[in-house]
Amino acid sequence: MTGPKLNEAPVRVSGRRRVRVKEETTSFRARGRYLRVSAYKVREALDLIRGLDAERASETLRLSERDAATVVGKVLASAIANGEHHHEHPVSPEELYVSACYSDEGPTLKRWRPRARGRATRIRKRTCHITVIVSRMPEDELRERRSRQPGAADRRRRTAASRKAAARKEAAPVEEVEEVAEEAVAEEAVEGTEVAPATGDTPEAEVAAPAPEPEAEAEPEAAEDKEQDK
């Protein structure tokens, strides 16, 4: 191939469209060579992340069901690390996006499998080279992102409000119990009832206690004493 690849030009996802980026920004590259997977399978995974933010691209590959996405995710992580730990112009991962990614075919390993009637069938074990390029977002897009993000003062205000709401929710049951107790005491004072002191006797002990003898049994004895006096 004589000219540059079409998928090597910087591309940015804008809404649902991929737009060519004309502004040149700082870019970082990572390559994986002689990987034991076909370039056809890798290109299907690369099409999912081309033009996306670095964080969103990593999440897309992590949730993908393709086996090639695991290999592409490692190359992407290496490219992000190159930008984050660059000695001259380090860039935060939040400011990076996948500007270009492509896969080239590597050498093919030839193997043979025996078949019927003494024949043999060739097995081709493909390899590929993966290249992922991450670039810094344009300045106008970075300014727009920062304007949408809440400031430190807003975060502190929301944190303080959430803490006050949690404290109010925790103190609400205690206040309700105190109000119920005050209402019960007020009702007793209005009705004029007195609370008897606790004796510690159980209802069973009260039932088992012997009842006092009635006074009617003492009347016959008094009648007998009067007859003796006469």
- pLDDT tens string 18-52: 676 666 678 899 999 999 999 999 999 999 999 89
Pick the CATH number of 6-148 from 3.90.470.10, 3.90.1200.10, 3.30.1330.40, 3.40.50.150: 3.90.470.10
Query: How high does pLDDT run on average in the chain?
Result: 78
Pairing of strands 11-14, 17-20: antiparallel
- Going through the chain in order, the beta strands assigned E by DSSP cover 11-14, 17-20, 27-35, 96-105, 109-114, 120-125, 128-136
Please state, in angstroms and rounded to a whole number, the distance separating the CA atoms of residues 105 and 197. 95
Task: Return the SS3 of 58.
Answer: helix
Q: Which of 130, 125, 99 is nearest to 112 (CA)?
A: 125
pLDDT at 138 over 90: no
Partners of residue 125 on adjacent β-strands: 109
pTM for the predicted model, two decimal places: 0.60
Looking at residue 217, its amino acid is E
Q: Which of 130, 133, 103, 132 is nearest to 27 (CA)?
A: 133
**Residue of higher predicted confidence among 95 and 19:** 95
pLDDT per position as a tens digit, 55-86: 999 999 999 999 999 999 999 999 999 999 98
pLDDT at 175 over 60: no
Q: Which sequence spans correspond to the domains of the chain? A: 6-148
pLDDT per position as a tens digit, 193-213: 555 555 555 555 455 555 555
pLDDT at 1 over 50: no
DSSP calls for 138-154? PHHHHHHHHHHS--HHH
- In percent, the amount of the chain with pLDDT more than 90 equals 42
In the structure, what pLDDT confidence band is assigned to residue 87 with cuts at 50, 70 and 90?
Answer: confident
For 6-12, what is the mean pLDDT? 69
In the structure, what pLDDT confidence band is assigned to residue 2 with cuts at 50, 70 and 90?
Answer: very low
pLDDT per position as a tens digit, 96-133: 999 999 999 999 999 999 999 999 999 999 999 999 99
pLDDT of residue 171: 77
